[in-house]
Structure 1
Amino acid sequence: MKKVRLDTFHTGNFDKGAGFIKQTLWYFVNALIVRASWNPFMGIKIALLKAFGAKIGKGLIIKNNVCIKFPWKLTIGDHVWLGENCWIDNLDSVTIGNHVCISQGALLLTGNHDYTLTSFDYRNAPIVIEDGAWIGARAVVCPGVTVRSHAILTVGSIATKDMEAYGIYQGNPAQLIRKRVIT
């Protein structure tokens, strides 16, 4: 087996979408104001996200300790809920439709590493969450997944493939368990 030196790994093979200064400034603004548990003022958080390039509709509820990697790669529709400790790790674009709930501790993960390469390059893909969907607490949406209209990913489940409209998904990997009926 060929021995690989750790200094041969690199992770800079994707477009971060902003320069070093903007990224650094966002890091501190996010840590000190947007993500901070001391700041309950959603208006300030939303204004800062928009100032850094996020496209946000009306009626966003953003709770404490929400982590957003790159706001300039984020689009959020109207009347969206981002619960405590959810993490939008958007190395690629994340699009969230209208009337969507991202529950506490949920993770939207747009990238990972290609373990088949010694360079450990990133493998990124966008996430789309369509109108009326609900991502349950501590659930994970993986790179390249589209959560179709009004689908539900239940608590602790992991979506590795697209979810059909009005489907309720559970498990790891998440499987369709039944259809959602809205009355």
Structure 2
Amino acid sequence: MKTPYTLIKFARYIKNVWLNSISSSPFIPYQLRRILYKLYGHQVSRIFLNCFLGYGPGHLYVGKNTYCNSLCFFDLGNDITIKDNCCVAMQVSFVNSTHDIGDSEMRGGRGKSKPIVVEDGCWICSRVTILPGVTIGKGCVIAAGAVVTKDCLPNGLYAGVPAKRIKDLK
């Protein structure tokens, strides 16, 4: 008889195959992908192929008229919400898990996670990394390659590492 730990590992394996091999396959149209993700509690409007959904307990919500381009990473240690009318370019990473700093024996201490929220009308350019607990305000543009470590106020252009507001948008 299998131990509970073995069953948990097997369930994670099946979930990974389902979400990250079958559902994200180039052979699956986005309309079907939406249905396949829903079976695991995710509500998405349009996600392109080859995106990776993590094993965590969080859920992904992608609003109406929003799309996430190819090769995006969704950590899912906590919920990730991308609201309506957003554009998420390729290779954007939504990283909402981290660790406390541990002692010298093991610096990666106790794990923790916080939700990520992207408000309506945002454009997240390619290769942006969004870290735990961040809310990106309505109508923001996050420039390519930026690392978002703190909340972004509405209607601003943010760029850099760490991302800073460089321009007000109308």
**Could you say which TM-score interval applies, normalised by the shorter chain?**
0.7 to 0.9
Q: C-alpha distance in 2, partners of 1:95/1:146? A: 9
Shift of 1:114: 1.9
Aligned to 1:32: 21
Q: CA RMSD in A?
A: 1.9
What stretches of structure 2 of length at least 5 have no aligned partner? 1-7
Letter in 1 for 2:54: K
Paired positions, count = 159
User: Is the aligned partner of 1:55 residue 2:58?
Assistant: no
Q: Which residue of 1 aligns with 2:102?
A: 116
Shift of the alpha carbon at 1:167?
0.8
Which amino acid is the alignment partner of residue 130 of structure 2? V
Other-structure match for 2:81: 95
Which amino acid is the alignment partner of residue 174 of structure 1? Answer: A
Distance 1:69 1:25 in 2: 13
Aligned partner of 1:45 in structure 2 is 33
> What TM-score results when the alignment is normalised by the length of structure 2?
0.85
Deviation at 1:147, TM superposition (A): 0.4
3-state SS of the aligned residue for 2:37?
helix
Alignment partner, residue 129 of structure 2: 140
Is the CA contact (8 Å cut-off) linking 1:125 and 1:143 kept in structure 2? yes
Cα distance in 2 between the residues matched to 1:103 and 1:22 = 31
Hey, what's the Cα distance between the residues in 1 that align with 2:142 and 2:98?
Answer: 21
Identity of matched residues, %: 25
- Which residue of the partner structure matches residue 66 of structure 1? 51
Change (3 A) 1:31 1:95: closer
Q: Which has the larger displacement, 121-130 or 163-172?
A: 121-130
Which of residues 86, 92, 97 in structure 2 aligns to 1:106? 92
Change (3 A) 1:22 1:133: farther
